[in-house]
Chain A
Amino acid sequence: GAGVSQSPRYKVAKRGQDVALRCDPISGHVSLFWYQQALGQGPEFLTYFQNEAQLDKSGLPSDRFFAERPEGSVSTLKIQRTQQEDSAVYLCASSQRRQSYGYTFGSGTRLTVV
């Protein structure tokens, strides 16, 4: 597609529920990133893929967070046993080249845990 597509746009989860957030990067983009943006804050890095390889997952806040990109295109961010502090906007970005900072961000998924 023309841009990075994320779904769903909004997700309300009950505390303890598992959620899965999807990212469709721009076709052919090698690199894919996930960021978490709390209300009133800047985005914070979660994880980075180059093709299907997860090269950096240092930003994942706990072992309840898991990301995958099995075929090097679509990526899924999964959060198990959601907690209220997981409420945030989850942004996905992709770039054509390795180590490129010309990322294109998606519009994000707003997760609210109640």
Chain B
Amino acid sequence: GQQLNQSPQSMFIQEGEDVSMNCTSSSIFNTWLWYKQDPGEGPVLLIALYKAGELTSNGRLTAQFGITRKDSFLNISASIPSDVGIYFCAGQGGTSYGKLTFGQGTILTVHP
């Protein structure tokens, strides 16, 4: 099925560093969301974006909904060991209520 193009696929960083990951799509989305998934668990919503150009923060996390509506990025500042996990972007478009298209994920490893 269709998936978003998410990059990078993986990141290895030192504790305290900032992280940036992004998602692009060939289709326009009305909503962009960012999730974090820990091993053996379901994804947990981090940030939701509902308007083109919107910039939203949640603690050390900041995400933006691209003006073209075809991309989004997530920044994590001052990373800590518990940030380890897989981060997914997801988009919703058209009239497919509730149906989300997910990216392939970014695996984040933080070295203390």
Contacts and interface: CB of A to CB of B under 8 A. Distances in A.
Interface of A: 4, 31, 33, 40-45, 48, 55-56, 58-59, 91, 93, 95, 98-103, 105-108
A95 B6 CA distance: 25
A52 B33 CA distance: 26
Contact of B41 (A44, A45, A99, A107): A107
Interface stretch (B12-20, B55-63, B75-83, B97-105): B97-105
A36 B98 CA distance: 15
Given A105-B43, A107-B41, A59 B92 contact: no
Given A59-B1, A105-B42, A45 B31 contact: no
A95 B31 CA distance: 16
Given A101-B48, A103-B45, A42 B99 contact: no
Contact of B98 (A48, A105, A106, A108): A48
Nearest to B50: A101
A101 B42 contact: no
Interface residues of B, number: 26
Contacts of A105: 42-44
B40 interface: yes
Contacts of A44: 1, 3, 102
B31 A107 contact: no
A11 B8 CA distance: 32
B92 A101 contact: yes
B96 A42 contact: no
Contacts of A106: 42
Which of A55, A101, A102, A106: most chain B Cβ within 10 A? A101
Which of B43, B101, B102, B104: most chain A Cβ within 10 A? B43
20 contacts: A4-B42, A41-B104, A41-B105, A42-B88, A45-B101, A48-B97, A48-B98, A56-B96, A58-B96, A59-B99, A91-B42, A99-B98, A100-B98, A101-B31, A101-B98, A101-B100, A102-B45, A105-B42, A107-B40, A108-B41
